[in-house]
Amino acid sequence: MEHHNELQRTIDNLVSPRKGLLAADESHPTIAKRFAAIDLEPTEENRRAYRSLLLTTPGINEFISGVILFEETVGQLNSAGDPLVHVLETQGIVPGVKVDKGKGPLPNAPGDMITHGLDGLEDRLDRYREQGIRFAKWREVYPISDQNPTSLGLEANAEVLARYAAACQQAGIVPIVEPEVLRDGTHDMGRCEAVHEAVLESVFRALRRHGVTLEHMLLKPAMITPGEGHDASATPEEVAEATLRLLTRCVPAAVPGVNFLSGGQTPVEATRNLNALNVGAGNVPWRLSFSYGRALQEPVLNAWKGRELNAEVAQQAFLLRAGLNSAACEGAYSSVMEA
């Protein structure tokens, strides 16, 4: 296979022990909401300053193996005039980028969504590769209701994920496949697990159909939890048990890593649940790690507040949260480490 060695090198770097991914790929509307919580205008300069703060945190390469960037960030510079992609490379951190163009309703499947962006993807991947990008991410979302996801929703979303992944590998870029089952709703854990199983079965069927090399991709799923509106919560041990059962049923051993999304969990919840997964994992064939956005960044934003004088304490908050999730990757996290 063309690019085999390059793809393998990228995978080896991304699945390094005790390391995970930072998802810093928020769209303009999403980062505007994050900035609104700290009364900061979502200007291009503020977005650049914030993401530069994250990527230049000293010592972060001890815990972070790769960063998923928003397309805007790929072309931006830090305050010293260095490209942010180069800033990551000099730390041994693999630069990645989100390549989807956002979601919209799926026709003839009320309640289901589909993600756009396949048109022109090959050209964009070639351009990103020239800029130093070595992996990509594409997110499909699956709402849970009594009717959703429909069979059409399952198959259509899986087809898009597989076409994206195949295009990435053809360009020498490792694809992260993200089929996110949303937490919105009142469903229980059993319903969440059943939907996840249907989603992953359809996704891996499509990946095989399109000839995607499973050894050169990463999976980014949600954990099995009750819906946010459900009247009962789940312990980390319950989340781990259900999630590991799902992975064992649905994820081929050839996939080298599963990097969970935080999916609305608080920073502490996301770390505790990841830790429980690794405590209970035994001899699973995949490296279980994180690809967190808000669960890594929320304490950073609260410390930074858009002020340069807060930069150092904000970076310390980022380093602490990343280190806690690094410990969780080995099942070595303890709540006393939060202090």
- CA dist., res. 133 & res. 120, Å (int): 17
- Check residue 231 and give its pLDDT: 87
Q: Is the pLDDT of residue 320 over 70?
A: yes
The sign of the torsion formed by the CA atoms of 246, 64, 28, 303 equals positive
- Check residue 232 and give its pLDDT: 84
- Check residue 79 and give its pLDDT: 84
**Mean pLDDT on 300-329:** 97
For domain 4-338, give its CATH number from 3.90.79.10, 3.30.1280.10, 1.20.1250.20, 3.20.20.70.
Answer: 3.20.20.70
Residue with tokens 């069927």: 205
- List all residues 6 or more positions away from 38 whose beta carbon is below 8 Å from its beta carbon: 301, 302, 304, 305, 306
**Mean pLDDT on 107-134:** 97
Q: Is the pLDDT of residue 110 over 70?
A: yes
Supply the DSSP symbol for 77.
B
- List all residues 6 or more positions away from 91 whose beta carbon is below 8 Å from its beta carbon: 60, 61
**Cα–Cα–Cα angle for 337, 245, 298, rounded to 5 degrees:** 35
Q: Is the pLDDT of residue 339 over 80?
A: no
How distant, in Å, are the alpha carbons of 7, 25, 177, 203, 325 from that of 168? 10, 18, 11, 16, 28
What DSSP letter does each residue of 45-63 carry, written as one string?
Answer: HHHHHHHHHHHT-TTGGGT
Q: Can you list the alpha helix ranges (DSSP code H) found in the chain?
A: 4-14, 28-36, 44-55, 71-74, 84-90, 121-130, 151-170, 189-209, 236-250, 267-280, 294-304, 311-328
Residue spans of the domains in the chain: they are 4-338
Mean pLDDT of the chain: 96
User: Phi and psi (nearest 5°) for 24?
Assistant: -115, 45
- Check residue 2 and give its pLDDT: 79
Q: Is 160:115 a contact under the CB 8 Å cutoff?
A: yes
Q: Is 189:235 a contact under the CB 8 Å cutoff?
A: no
Sort 281 into a burial class: Cβ within 10 Å, 0-12 / 13-18 / 19+. middle
pLDDT in tens, 175-210: 999 999 999 989 999 999 999 999 999 999 999 999
- CA dist., res. 90 & res. 166, Å (int): 29
- CA dist., res. 314 & res. 309, Å (int): 10
Q: Which residues are catalytic?
A: 178, 220
**Mean pLDDT on 306-330:** 97
What DSSP letter does each residue of 93-123 carry, written as one string?
Answer: PEEEEE----EEEPTTSTT-EEE---TTHHH
Q: Is the pLDDT of residue 308 over 80?
A: yes
Q: Is 83:95 a contact under the CB 8 Å cutoff?
A: no
- Check residue 1 and give its pLDDT: 63
Do strands 113-115 and 103-105 pair parallel, antiparallel, or not at all (unpaired)? antiparallel
pLDDT in tens, 273-287: 999 999 999 999 999
pLDDT in tens, 205-262: 999 999 999 999 999 999 999 988 898 889 999 999 999 999 999 999 999 999 999 9
pTM for the model: 0.97
pLDDT in tens, 24-74: 999 999 999 999 999 999 999 999 999 999 999 999 999 999 999 999 999
Q: Is the pLDDT of residue 337 over 90?
A: no
Crossing angle (nearest 10°) for helices 44-55 and 311-328: 50
| Biggest CA-to-CA distance, the chain | 53
Q: Residue 338: which pLDDT band, with cuts at 50, 70 and 90?
A: confident
